[in-house]
Amino acid sequence: MRWDWFSILASALLVCYGAASSSSEDVLFQVSTLEALKEGIFDGTTTIGALLEHGDFGLGTLDRLDGGMVVLDGVVYQAVADGSIHVANDSAKTPFADVTSFQPDYCAIPGRKL
């Protein structure tokens, strides 16, 4: 049950991004799998610095499940159990993450039709 919210959020990210994208150059970089997390493999294998070489938008978790990870505009945020959010250190590691280089296909401007 603990991973249900994460699975849903990760799936939504993949579906929404995939539905909006039409380029053959769209790439999703993944560190490990959700199945590995379910099996208890929580030790980080990839540094945040290395992860950011593959994308600027995504989701994941940090070493030993030390909070949820949100990657937005190339900044990795760590949401910890007490509700606080911090910028993650480039040397921190992740056991699971999905990132991509985000390029919007459409830009909506308030008050204008698409």
Domains belonging to the chain, first-starting first, are 4-100 (3.30.1330.80)
Cα of 102 vs its chain's centroid, Å: 11
Name the amino acid, one letter, at 114: L
Separation of alpha carbons 86 and 64, rounded Å = 17
* Predicted confidence (pLDDT) per residue in 27-65, tens digit: 999 999 989 999 999 999 999 999 999 999 999 999 999
pLDDT band (50, 70, 90) for residue 18: very low
Separation of alpha carbons 85 and 4, rounded Å = 21
Separation of alpha carbons 44 and 92, rounded Å = 8
Residue 30, classified by CB atoms within 10 Å of its CB into exposed (0-12), middle (13-18) or buried (19+), is middle
* Predicted confidence (pLDDT) per residue in 59-95, tens digit: 999 999 999 999 999 999 999 999 999 999 999 999 9
Q: Is the pTM of this model over 0.85?
A: no
Residue 16's pLDDT is 46
